[in-house]
Amino acid sequence: MVEEGVARIGGDIEDEITPEEEQGIPGHAGKKEWAKRLQSFLRESGISFEAEGEATRIHLGMLSVEVTEAGETGYAVVITIPLPGSSSDAEDEEAAKAYMDALKVLARLGADEIRYELDTDMPGYPVLRAVIEYSNPDDLASKLIEALKPFAKGEQAD
């Protein structure tokens, strides 16, 4: 039941969203207008995502883009980029596409400041996180929608 609802929100199933999902039941759409606007854009664009309230995880191939709470500042967009764990992984075309996609999203977000975090906790699977914090969630939603437009189904990435 929950998997079906998450898949439906992520654009993988064509069914309509139920009123319960729109009201923000855990595992489903957010209640706040900015989150509804972002999640509606993702659904209409055919971009795969998962949502639990305002927290949203967007899937762009190997790239993950998340909207999370960020302590006192409000919210953040966190872009997780897989790094090569070995020299043989460095030539992987899918990983290269993830890097290019991450740079496209970062450039289109128009952030004044980007914080980077290197996560090496899982041996052989390092990841780089780019974190952009926003105090205004409406601004976050607007900028993220613009940044993700090239990834909409039927669109050609810039």
What average pLDDT does the chain have?
82
Instruction: Check which CATH number belongs to the domain holding 142 and give it.
Output: 3.30.1460
Q: Is position 157 within any domain?
A: no
- What mean pLDDT comes out for the span 116-129? 94
Show the domain range for 71. 2-151
pLDDT at 79 over 60: yes
pTM value surpassing 0.85: no
Report the pLDDT value the prediction gives residue 30, as an integer from 0 to 100. 67
Distance CA 60, CA 83 (A): 15
Report the pLDDT value the prediction gives residue 155, as an integer from 0 to 100. 64
Share of the chain above pLDDT 70, in %: 77
Residue 134 vs residues 12, 76, 95: alpha-carbon distances, Å: 29, 6, 28
Distance CA 17, CA 66 (A): 21
- What mean pLDDT comes out for the span 43-64? 92
